[in-house]
């Protein structure tokens, strides 16, 4: 069975947590596409060459979840040649046998526009910044400024800007528990699998 779940949204909205839970619940493979861009960003050097040479070991680095890696990912993701180098990998993963969940910023709009389920997970900038601050620490005001800067860059880029697909279910997690958000996502997937 080939079944693709596309989950998009801004940083710290909960899409990664929801994606992993959904993949586990349905036995689907999971790909955090942001890790691809984080890996390219932290490799340094020419980002286009880094994207073309990306290997599984690059995705296993333990520095991919840092704030610096997130900012680097957002910057290299704005380069059309980097995006192009990673598209085929993502599309092949999405159509693998047994089902797949991909989370990122352009899965439902660019990578998998024909996905069987599309979710756009969001939350207010303040809630997302607080979550990120709890994860990374530091100055919470600076984290909020970083979240807003990243949102502007991700939503304003010319190539594959962050936005919900026209047929995506928008899931605002600002006031939701993670259990409620996962349940809502699972209910939608369950309905499409019938």
Q: Is 98 flagged in the annotation as binding?
A: no
How many helices (H) and strands (E) would you count in the chain? 9, 5
* pLDDT on residue 155: 93
pTM score of the predicted model: 0.86
* pLDDT on residue 65: 86
Task: Quote the DSSP letter at residue 133.
Answer: H
Q: How far apart are CA 128 and CA 11, in angstroms?
A: 7
Q: Count of residues for the chain?
A: 194
Q: How confident is the model at residue 159 (pLDDT cuts 50, 70, 90)?
A: confident
Q: Is 27 flagged in the annotation as binding?
A: no
Arithmetic mean of pLDDT over the chain: 93
CA distances from 182 to 7, 17, 43, 59, 134 (A): 12, 8, 33, 25, 20
Helix (H) or strand (E) holding 170: strand 169-172
* pLDDT on residue 157: 86
**Please, which residues have CB within 8 angstroms of residue 10's CB and are 6 or more apart in sequence?**
105, 122, 123, 128, 147, 150, 151, 154, 162
Q: Is 12 flagged in the annotation as binding?
A: yes
CA-closest candidate to residue 15, choices 103, 93, 129: 103
Q: Is 13 flagged in the annotation as binding?
A: yes
Two tokens at 72? 């680097």
Two tokens at 80? 């059309």
pLDDT tens digits, one per residue of 34-83:
899 999 999 989 999 999 998 888 988 999 988 889 889 989 988 999 98
Q: How confident is the model at residue 175 (pLDDT cuts 50, 70, 90)?
A: very high
* pLDDT on residue 66: 87
The answer to whether 80 touches 159, Cβ cutoff 8 Å, is: yes
Q: Is 9 flagged in the annotation as binding?
A: yes
Q: Is 180 flagged in the annotation as binding?
A: no
Domains and CATH numbers, the chain: 4-188 (3.40.50.300)
Mean pLDDT of 160-167: 93
Q: How far apart are CA 140 and CA 162, in angstroms?
A: 24
* pLDDT on residue 158: 84
State yes or no: pLDDT of 130 exceeds 90.
yes
Q: How far apart are CA 121 and CA 65, in angstroms?
A: 19
Q: Is 14 flagged in the annotation as binding?
A: yes
Higher pLDDT, 175 or 70: 175
pLDDT tens digits, one per residue of 75-125:
998 899 998 999 988 998 999 999 999 999 999 999 999 999 999 999 999
Two tokens at 60? 């296993």
Residue 4 half-sphere exposure toward CB, CA atoms < 13 A: 20
* pLDDT on residue 89: 86
Task: Quote the DSSP letter at residue 13.
Answer: S
């Amino acid at each position: 069975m080939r079944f693709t779940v596309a989950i998009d949204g801004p940083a710290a909205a909960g899409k990664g947590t929801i994606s992993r839970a959904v993949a586990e619940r349905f036995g689907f493979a999971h790909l955090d596409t942001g890790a691809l861009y984080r890996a390219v960003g932290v490799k340094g050097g020419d980002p286009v060459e880094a994207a073309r040479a990306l290997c599984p070991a690059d995705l296993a680095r333990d520095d991919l979840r840092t704030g610096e890696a997130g900012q680097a990912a957002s910057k290299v993701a704005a380069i059309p040649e980097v995006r192009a180098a990673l598209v085929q990998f993502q599309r092949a993963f999405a159509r693998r046998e047994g089902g797949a969940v991909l989370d990122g910023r352009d899965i439902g709009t660019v990578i998998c526009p024909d996905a069987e389920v599309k979710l756009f997970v969001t939350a207010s900038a303040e809630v997302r910044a607080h979550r990120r601050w709890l994860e990374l620490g530091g100055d919470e005001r600076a984290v909020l400024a970083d979240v807003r800067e990243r949102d502007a860059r991700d939503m304003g880029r010319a190539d594959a800007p962050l936005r919900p697909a026209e047929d995506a279910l928008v899931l605002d997690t600002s006031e939701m528990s993670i259990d409620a958000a996962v349940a809502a996502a699972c209910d939608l997937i369950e309905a499409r699998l019938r």
